[in-house]
Structure 1
Amino acid sequence: MAEASITTGTYKLYPSPRNRVREIFLHEVFVPHPYAIVDPPSYDPRGRWSLFAAHRLADGKNGQLVTFELEADAQRFSSRFVPD
């Protein structure tokens, strides 16, 4: 059975079932809204992406972590994302 969570030095992550890949990419955006609808494909990423429910270890904050293969995709997401 696959692990249900992934722990990094910064986060405890729970992969979204919508992920095509279960990889943590270099460019990360933490969304401090655990119940907001985050739909990375709607932000037209050029590269691959992955989405995780996230628990930030430093301060115990829950949210979501979106990781992107390309820095431009992370910047586009950050500038356009508005929590619902």
Structure 2
Amino acid sequence: MPQPIFSTDRYKLYPSPRNTVREVFLHEVFVPHPYALVDPPSYDPRGRWSLFVAHRLSDGRNGQLVTFELEADAVRFIERFVP
């Protein structure tokens, strides 16, 4: 059964079925490529992570939102991600 849609102040979010937790962590990375393959485990995160299809409310742009529990994981993702 699909997980429900929910919103934050900045995004409308659709959780990935691959999430082990359905939580929006403090360190967010918006990927403005809605069809890019984003695989957070391949970036070796040390903490928990979550992935969402995202609609950014400020400009109506669609993409993906990856959130990380640890700031170092978000930095590693930004450095390594190539769409």
Q: Secondary structure at the match of 2:17?
A: coil
Normalised by the length of structure 2, the TM-score is: 0.96
* 1:73 matched residue in structure 2: 73
Same amino acid, percent of matched pairs = 80
Stretches of structure 2 lacking an aligned partner (at least 5 in a row): none
* One-letter identity of the residue aligned with 2:26: L
The equivalent residue for 1:63 is 63
Give structure 1 stretches of 5+ with no counterpart: none
Q: Aligned to 1:72, what secondary structure does the other structure show?
A: helix
Q: Could you tell me which residue of structure 2 aligns to residue 49 of structure 1?
A: 49
Q: TM-score, normalised by structure 1?
A: 0.95
Indicate the SS of the match to 1:76.
Answer: helix
Distance 2:70 2:22 in 1: 16
- Name the SS of the counterpart of 2:82 in structure 1: coil
Aligned positions, number? 83
Deviation, 1:3, is 5.6
- Extract structure 1 runs of 4+ deviating beyond 2 A: none
Distance apart, 1:23 and its partner CA: 0.4
Deviations 1:10-46 (A, max 9, x none): 0000000000000000000000000000000000000
SS in 1 for 2:23: coil
